[in-house]
Amino acid sequence: MTSKTLPRRFALSTLLLVMLLVSLVFGYAQWRRLRVIREIESLNEIGNHMEISEPTLRQLYARSVPEIHLEDGFWACSKEKRIPVYFFKNRVGTYSLAGDDREFEPEEFKEFLLTIQGSLHFIGVDRVEFWQYQHTGNRIERKIETELDFIK
């Protein structure tokens, strides 16, 4: 009489292996979730408010990086799939984030925006837009780009 069931030893080792794999997957997802939460908190700290008065835009109140919210679940990510980053090009050729007093040289600012862009992609934002505001004469001009090649 032969038994067609798996030996107990084999079944137990398979069960332990499956439990190990499941715990690794869930552990990684939790670690990633905590890292995404930290990234979102640091990006939300960047978001300073600015006010733009311009006839074509009426009155614009914006943050340099809009507030980001978490879509919680097994694979945590940002609810927003498109995020604009607002900044000014000053008349002297330096750059500053919206509502921020710090001024950056072009290369330094490009590095800073690349860091922000990398963080936004990590948390699940598909498209990052860079909205540049610049004083041209007596009005404010707006330029929207998705790549940082225009910063010189």
Averages of pLDDT over runs of 10 residues in the chain (152 residues) are 62 88 94 90 75 52 75 81 86 82 88 91 90 75 82 78
What pLDDT shows up at residue 1? 47
Return the DSSP state at 6.
Answer: P
Q: Which helix (H) or strand (E) holds 1?
A: none
What pLDDT shows up at residue 47? 63
Report if residue 100 sits inside a domain. yes
Least Cα distance to 129 among 149, 108, 144, 111 occurs for: 144
Report if residue 36 sits inside a domain. yes
How is residue 71 written in tokens? 């879509």
Burial class (CB in 10 A: 0-12, 13-18, 19+), 12: exposed
What pLDDT shows up at residue 58? 47
Report if residue 41 sits inside a domain. yes
Please tell me the total count of domains within the chain. 1
Report if residue 150 sits inside a domain. no
Expressed as residue numbers, the domain containing 43 is 8-145
